[in-house]
Structure 1
Amino acid sequence: MTKAFALYGLAALAEIGGCFAFWAWLRLGRSPWWAGAGTLSLIAFALLLTRIDASVAGRAFAAYGGIYIVVSIVWMRLIEGARPDRWDLIGAAVCLAGAGIILFGSRTT
């Protein structure tokens, strides 16, 4: 499972970085070159997410959602300098719990 969490974390960083690059270009007035970097980052995201060992893609994507939310809150704090409030942290904890249920839940079929 450690490999899965590492892949999820790297995928989240790649997706958030790619989306932020477009945000920087379109909302913060940065150079259009940011869109190119964002595109490459989003390609890396897709490639990383396909490396998750899961029987079906939907389950891998669903579990990823919880990890993505937690990494987004960390990004907000470290990169954007905005301090998460208690609702951000509570929401992230709930989502991470949901991801854990999806990842570690017993499968009978």
Structure 2
Amino acid sequence: MTIVRSLVLFVLAAVFEIGGAWLVWQGWREHRGAAWIAAGILALAAYGFAATFQPDAHFGRILAAYGGVFVAGSLLWGVVMDGFRPDWWDLAGAAICLVGVSVIMYAPRG
């Protein structure tokens, strides 16, 4: 159950961070206004808290692993929200990052 909780928290953190950055982008670059930017700032703040609920207590490990989730999540966000079409290299890079997440977070330690 700990791994499932950790994975859910990584997905939640990705939605907050990627979504927050996307909202700021939309507000500023796409001229949607201050409300979009404010919503983005709130989402980014929520991201900052999401990682603190991870079962592992090591900040460096959590943030390093989250980096891989961010890479894959950003590509997925672009597909869903902006019609981005990743190429084979994008997908291969994201897969490598997710393997790294698995090694960093879920390798047996002892």
Give me the CA root mean square deviation.
1.0
CA distance in structure 1 between the partners assigned to 2:11 and 2:70 by the alignment: 7
% identical aligned pairs: 39
CA distance in structure 2 between the partners assigned to 1:55 and 1:16 by the alignment: 23
The aligned runs of 1:97-108 (5 Å cut-off) are 97-108=99-110
TM norm structure 1: 0.93
TM norm structure 2: 0.93
CA distance in structure 2 between the partners assigned to 1:35 and 1:21 by the alignment: 6
CA distance in structure 2 between the partners assigned to 1:106 and 1:3 by the alignment: 17
Q: Post-superposition shift, 1:107?
A: 2.2
Runs of 4+ in 1 over 6 A off after TM superposition: none
> Number of residues paired by the alignment?
108
Alignment partner of 1:84 is 2:68: no
- Whichever residue aligns with residue 48 of structure 2, its letter is A
Gaps in structure 2 of 5+ consecutive residues: none
Alignment partner of 1:64 is 2:71: no
CA distance in structure 2 between the partners assigned to 1:82 and 1:32 by the alignment: 25
Gaps in structure 1 of 5+ consecutive residues: none
> Which residue number in structure 1 is paired with residue 76 of structure 2?
74
